[in-house]
Structure 1
């Protein structure tokens, strides 16, 4: 059973493994059949404002290629190295730049720059005005998550366990902090979180570390999930989703581990909840919304850690992370459907098929518009309208 899981993860490019493990299994396992979608009473109509083809997306590699959103523009990068700016209101292409980079992260925008990373370990800054390169810095390992920035410092995290701070103006290295990487890891990384004078980073060993922004010195380090089991696969507890900081609590989830809240200042664990999730989670009104790796969407009370509801109608549909759109919870699935859920009950209230090829990233929201990017590069903007 565990060997079958290993093969499935390896076939999808979701793990990084030493060569000695590659021969562990030779037969292709039977996958769980995705839950069939059922009808429901629609409370909202989904209107597509516009759609465009934006590039190669992530169809050939399981990468998260999140766009960056600003008041006027949507910025997208694709695997072929093309970065473009689209008019957020119409989808019209404003500029297109062929960087020839092997882009492997989503785009982080702000302060006149676009930050991204490559499979070759290059941290790159482009001009938000025309996509021209501002600087490029070679780091020690593949980059698989968007960086964080406050306009002065850019924080990148590489697959080999390094958290690096760069001068956002010229890419000069300010400091580097190294964490231990297990023998076997998921092929992905949590986005570092930069808040005030602290940098928070999740690691492949199931730990969270808080660092001083100025020096990179560790403030605290805490294990969220304890590896267990006899095989390296059993012991995977990667933190690959996002870190959410609200009201002094740092919320984090792990693969084959736990969802927990840590004290922002000390790292002390207040509560934890058994779950396996490497997805982006969202929050609304003191509630966390998490799509786990089995396809169950859960609502968790931030204060107590109690489960408020769970939606099991999407099991084995390989869900994206969750987002909040018009005070509703939205999640995408393997077949390219977007599902909107009532945040109080978890029941379905709207559905729209975006693209049969699935998604390159968790849907993103700006104002009352949701933007979705498919695995083959189709991007579209959606609005909701109540049916009654």
Structure 2
């Protein structure tokens, strides 16, 4: 019917889409908070603030991601934060180089994040330890996408890459793209790049170099 079921004032501007999982709705704000609400009622479950330093709070530009146990987000300062989904307690923190605008990709016990330093990183989801870091020489603004054994991402310098999720080795690249590259259905990968809609068979992408 389009009727508003509930509304909640976060106290800060929200630039990204909220994350919905396990009966929860979570969103990061420009005021430095990550807010988690009950999906059905809008009741606040918890709010956690992230400080950039002793005088300033972080600001969150991207959406958060979850594996069901933790919520992962990247602040504009480059700080990566993992929160317990039940109470918002900080499980661990890490960093990307330069500014952080990417929504993390989560899977296989890893958190994949990009930064403005031109690197894509894989962090262990349980403790934030860096497993690998691959430099591609372009600023990463959009969300990486985990598809099977590969992580796809684009740079502001109009390049799209696939790296192996296991070790970060570049296995595929395309001179197109800028933001978040695409989605997958079974073994077909769909990319919307610079006004073009492109589809690849998964086995062809895996062989490309």
The TM-score with structure 1 as length reference comes to: 0.48
Q: Distance in 2 between matches of 1:221 and 1:290?
A: 26
CA shift digits 1:47-103 (9 cap, x unpaired): xxxxxxxxxxxxxxxxxxxxxxxxxxxxxxxxxxxxxxxxxxx43322223333322
Query: Alignment length, in residue pairs?
Result: 198
2:18 is aligned with 1:117: no
2:43 corresponds, among 129, 132, 135, to 132
Aligned to 2:7, what secondary structure does the other structure show? strand
CA shift digits 1:30-52 (9 cap, x unpaired): xxxxxxxxxxxxxxxxxxxxxxx
2:94 corresponds, among 173, 177, 202, to 177
Q: More relative contact order in 1 or in 2 (CA 8 Å, sep 6+)?
A: 1
Residue of structure 1 equivalent to 2:108: 196
2:195 is aligned with 1:289: no
What is the CA distance between 1:300 and its match in structure 2? 4.9
Residue of structure 2 equivalent to 1:322: none
CA shift digits 1:230-269 (9 cap, x unpaired): xxxxxxx322222222221111111114211111111111
5+ residue gaps, structure 2, are 53-57
Aligned to 2:8, what secondary structure does the other structure show? strand
2:17 is aligned with 1:106: yes
Residue of structure 2 equivalent to 1:299: 198
Q: Distance in 2 between matches of 1:261 and 1:132?
A: 40
Q: For 1:17-32, what aligned pairs fall within 5 Å after superposition?
A: none
CA contact (8 A) 2:177 2:192 kept: no
Question: Once superposed, what is the RMSD of the aligned Cα atoms?
Answer: 2.1
2:172 is aligned with 1:271: yes
Aligned to 1:109, what secondary structure does the other structure show? strand
Residue of structure 1 equivalent to 2:125: 213
CA shift digits 1:337-368 (9 cap, x unpaired): xxxxxxxxxxxxxxxxxxxxxxxxxxxxxxxx
Structure 1 residues 192 and 270: alpha-carbon distance in aligned structure 2, compared to 1, 3 A threshold? same
> Max radius of gyration: which structure?
1
Structure 1 residues 99 and 163: alpha-carbon distance in aligned structure 2, compared to 1, 3 A threshold? closer
Residue of structure 2 equivalent to 1:164: 81
Structure 1 residues 99 and 178: alpha-carbon distance in aligned structure 2, compared to 1, 3 A threshold? closer
5+ residue gaps, structure 1, are 1-89, 227-236, 307-388
Structure 1 residues 305 and 126: alpha-carbon distance in aligned structure 2, compared to 1, 3 A threshold? same
CA shift digits 1:283-337 (9 cap, x unpaired): 3442331232xxx21415244459xxxxxxxxxxxxxxxxxxxxxxxxxxxxxxx
